[in-house]
Amino acid sequence: MTTRTANFCIDCADPRALALWWADVVDDFEADEQDEWTDEEAWLAGPVGRDLVFLKVPEPKQVKNRMHVCVRPVDTTRDEEVERLLAHGATMVDDLRQPDEGWAVLADPEGNEFCVLTADAERCGVAQG
């Protein structure tokens, strides 16, 4: 028997706004069915039929996430990606970066934490540029 992930749900106050924010963050999930979104739910279609689903909840975020998304830059360095995301509206929660390793914990506009990992090329000692 095998079980696979179907989607990843993120609670939020404004599903449409947060889905569009995340669509600008990750390039392997797309906002291609916006006409089917509702005030209660929006989603980004991802690889192999796995989606990021944004669900409206009445309560604000109050504590640390028990599960979170980690992103890895593809064509830039970890530090450049952290700066891009901060400029895009993310906030720094915890900076655990060290040269060529570690990560930064950021929060999206609704406070959901996510990590920015080192790029594969950085982990392998290949210069980015």
**How does pLDDT run across 22-46, given as a tens digit for each residue?**
999 999 999 989 999 999 999 999 9
Distance (Å, whole) CA 123 – CA 22? 25
Strand order in the sheet with 91-98: 69-71, 113-116, 101-107, 91-98
Does the pLDDT value for residue 48 go beyond 80?
Answer: yes
Distance (Å, whole) CA 121 – CA 129? 10
Q: Which residue range(s) make up the domain with 16?
A: 1-59
Q: Are residues 3 and 18 in the same domain?
A: yes
Q: Are residues 85 and 98 in the same domain?
A: yes
Residue 80, in any domain of the structure: yes
Question: What pLDDT, in 10s, does the model give residues 72-119?
Answer: 999 999 999 999 999 999 999 999 999 878 999 999 999 999 999 998
Which position has the higher pLDDT, 124 or 10? Answer: 10
What DSSP character marks residue 94? Answer: E
How confident is the model over 1-20, as a mean pLDDT? 92
Does the pLDDT value for residue 125 go beyond 70?
Answer: no
Q: Are residues 55 and 68 in the same domain?
A: no
Domain count, the chain: 2
The model carries a pTM of 0.87
The whole-number pLDDT of residue 129 equals 46
The whole-number pLDDT of residue 57 equals 96
Given the DSSP bridges, would you call strands 101-107 and 91-98 parallel, antiparallel or unpaired? antiparallel
Distance (Å, whole) CA 121 – CA 76? 9
Q: Are residues 44 and 75 in the same domain?
A: no
Q: Are residues 26 and 46 in the same domain?
A: yes
Boundary-marking domain end, from 59, 85, 106? 59
Distance (Å, whole) CA 82 – CA 77? 9
First-residue to last-residue Cα distance in the chain:
44
Does the pLDDT value for residue 1 go beyond 80?
Answer: no
Q: Are residues 97 and 54 in the same domain?
A: no
